[in-house]
Structure 1
Amino acid sequence: MVSRPFPFFSSGLRLDADLHLPDDGGAGAPYPVVLPSSGYQGLKVIHPERFARALTARGFATLAFDFRGFGLSEGERGRLVPQEWVQDLRAAVDRVASAPELDAGRIGLVGWGMGGGVVVSEAADDPRVRAVASVNGVGDGARSTRNMHDEASWQRLLERIAADRAYRSEHGRSEITSPWDIVRLDLDGRTDVYVGRELYQAPGFGSGVTLESADMLLRFSPQSVVHRLAPRPLLIVHGTENRLHLPEEAEALYERAREPKRLRLIEGAGHTEWMFDDHPTFLTLVDELAAFFEESFAAAPATSAFQAIA
């Protein structure tokens, strides 16, 4: 894999990004490109770079980036708003669509967790994207978040969001809280262990999040726009034992999507305990993603990036 800095701007904010290319001396250029979208906490060094390592070995270019406010990207610290992530991802598509070594007619998105909803929402209004894959994704932010909580913690969260809404309307600031007050990892043992052992190695992971972010998450509903992807293909992959984002999220996306669409449930898999470069489940997933994007790009009509958004 050959990598180089490839920053771009979104809403005037400079986002830190790296372009990863196959190590073939440019023989495959212009390359098909897949943009991996991270889950909660928005860091490129976790799953986006994992997908980059795997997909470049299969002939794809990838752009891994930190969403605004995370990693080395500019933006308000602690602000984790999925609707703004959609804007950032669209800006990333703008960036790759203008790069000469990349094929603007073969752009795909793959999203993980919350990013699985972000890719659906971005592509719904961006015909330059030719194929979308959502892995362990979110179909509706309110339902997904509610399912993470017991009754008492859910009511506390709603009360805190309401109080913060009033406070920030008067003072212009939102309270910073633990990210795990919003996403209840402790109710999903396998994910909790993986996060503690693996993800906290990433600098900045686990940093505080505003309650306004939680408010916006509850208004985020990719399932309401997923039908607009058609006739572009959608692949939905979800672990049957995912207790963070329940399989209901995948099923809701699939039910509301139009053809062509595909749903694959990974038997026995949870949310993230299998996300290692050499894990058989991850390797099988990447093979499926590569085949999906290759098939989708081959079937897509030849259209320039300008024609796609005109």
Structure 2
Amino acid sequence: MTRKQLPFFSSGARVDADLHLPPGATGPLPVVVVASGYGGLKVIHPERFARALVPLGYAVLAFDYRGFGASEGERGRLAPQDWVDDVRAAVDRLAACDLVDPHRIFLLGWGLGGGVVVAEAADDPRVAAVAAVNGIGDGARSVRGMHDERSWTSLLERIDGDRGRRAELGRSEITSPWDIVRLDRDTGTDGYVSSELYRAPGFGSGVSLESGDLLLRFRPELAAARIAPRPLLLVHGARNGLHSPEEAYSLYACAREPKRLELIEGAGHTEWMHDDHPTFAHLVRLLDDFYAGRSSATLAGSHPGPGTEASNSFV
């Protein structure tokens, strides 16, 4: 795998990005833009997906959102609405790159990034297909599910008070990212983050309370129907204790055909995200079949969720 620096600008901020390519590739190649989750960096899951997908013939773009990693932007501002614009700017950059096929630009979002790619693709017809893994459909619902009554009430009070602070002083209070997203509600994820993700320099740095305010107002499921007629793949850990499978069910219900929801039985949110883990290998096969148009005609094993109808095949 070779790496080509491919920075781009989003709302005036220079975004640090790398295009991962098969050795000797001359293009044009299908390309997957990988959007990280909450607090994610390009060196974590985006590069993991690059290591898995590039040998299958894809180019993969990995980038740090504005304000994170080596990208420019306000530190501590974790705004999914801004991230939607960052993904769109990535598509802008790739559409002008001779190494990739502009008709085969695919999006892949992890966690919060799953909601980001749904929102971006809804209004960007250049995107050929969208996959969201352990994604969210409603920020407020997702975050509420991580909190007990006491911590939820405290978070809302802090966010409400910070609105006045921002209006008066122009600055938002910086807090721990885990005051907003409660990792301790999911033991597997909490342990994985401590042992694996903190190896990435800068991971877990403070975020503003405005970030929490913006996350609670982020509702990508409201845009999901506009992805059609392009295909949407939703993959979710059936035992995900961080982002409940309810998020995938709701995204599926809001989307139009062609769509598919695949639950991974026995899987939580992120404890299986290792290059050599069989669950991760299964996910990569699902993604390859989806992007290459090889999805099953009957979609056997699809899980449309409570109260929804079975999915039709992709076209």
- TM-score bracket, shorter-length normalisation: over 0.9
Tell me what 1:209 maps to.
207
Alignment of 1:274-285 (within 5 A): 274-285=272-283
Question: What is the CA distance between 1:64 and its match in structure 2?
Answer: 0.2
Tell me what 2:308 maps to.
none
Tell me what 1:52 maps to.
50
Match for 2:253 among 233, 251, 255?
255
Secondary structure, aligned partner of 2:145: helix
Tell me what 2:300 maps to.
none
Match for 1:238 among 233, 236, 241?
236
User: CA–CA distance in 2 between the matches of 1:204 and 1:261?
Assistant: 36
Alignment of 1:88-107 (within 5 A): 88-107=86-105
TM (norm. structure 2) is 0.93
User: CA–CA distance in 2 between the matches of 1:263 and 1:186?
Assistant: 27
Tell me what 2:309 maps to.
none
Secondary structure, aligned partner of 2:72: coil
Question: What is the CA distance between 1:296 and its match in structure 2?
Answer: 7.7
Question: Could you list the runs of 5+ residues in structure 1 that have no partner in the other structure?
Answer: 298-310
User: Quick check: 1:131–1:296 contact (8 Å CA) kept in 2?
Assistant: no
User: CA–CA distance in 2 between the matches of 1:170 and 1:126?
Assistant: 37
User: CA–CA distance in 1 between the matches of 2:183 and 2:25?
Assistant: 43
Tell me what 2:6 maps to.
6
TM (norm. structure 1) is 0.94
Match for 1:221 among 219, 222, 246?
219
Q: Deviations over 1:45-64 (max 9, x none)?
A: 00000001111011000110
Tell me what 1:179 maps to.
177
Q: Deviations over 1:137-156 (max 9, x none)?
A: 01100000000000000000
User: CA–CA distance in 1 between the matches of 2:16 and 2:227?
Assistant: 28
Question: What is the CA distance between 1:22 and its match in structure 2?
Answer: 1.1
User: Quick check: 1:46–1:199 contact (8 Å CA) kept in 2?
Assistant: yes
Tell me what 1:295 maps to.
293
Tell me what 1:21 maps to.
21
Tell me what 1:286 maps to.
284
Question: What is the CA distance between 1:42 and its match in structure 2?
Answer: 3.4
Q: Deviations over 1:76-95 (max 9, x none)?
A: 11000000000000000001
Tell me what 2:305 maps to.
none
Secondary structure, aligned partner of 2:293: helix
Tell me what 1:304 maps to.
none
User: CA–CA distance in 2 between the matches of 1:273 and 1:229?
Assistant: 30
Question: What is the CA distance between 1:234 and its match in structure 2?
Answer: 0.2
User: CA–CA distance in 1 between the matches of 2:285 and 2:238?
Assistant: 19
User: CA–CA distance in 1 between the matches of 2:93 and 2:201?
Assistant: 26
User: CA–CA distance in 1 between the matches of 2:233 and 2:36?
Assistant: 17
What is the identity, as a one-letter code, of the residue corresponding to 2:16?
D
Alignment of 1:113-132 (within 5 A): 113-132=111-130
User: Quick check: 1:233–1:296 contact (8 Å CA) kept in 2?
Assistant: no
User: CA–CA distance in 2 between the matches of 1:296 and 1:35?
Assistant: 20
Match for 1:162 among 160, 163, 188?
160
Tell me what 2:134 maps to.
136
What is the identity, as a one-letter code, of the residue corresponding to 1:159?
E
User: CA–CA distance in 2 between the matches of 1:296 and 1:111?
Assistant: 20
User: CA–CA distance in 2 between the matches of 1:239 and 1:284?
Assistant: 12
Tell me what 1:40 maps to.
38
User: CA–CA distance in 2 between the matches of 1:75 and 1:296?
Assistant: 40
User: Quick check: 1:130–1:296 contact (8 Å CA) kept in 2?
Assistant: no
User: CA–CA distance in 2 between the matches of 1:291 and 1:42?
Assistant: 26
Question: What is the CA distance between 1:26 and its match in structure 2?
Answer: 2.2
**Identical aligned pairs, as a percentage?**
69
User: Quick check: 1:227–1:257 contact (8 Å CA) kept in 2?
Assistant: yes
User: CA–CA distance in 2 between the matches of 1:220 and 1:3?
Assistant: 33
Secondary structure, aligned partner of 1:206: coil
User: Quick check: 1:80–1:209 contact (8 Å CA) kept in 2?
Assistant: yes
Question: Could you list the runs of 5+ residues in structure 2 that have no partner in the other structure?
Answer: 296-315
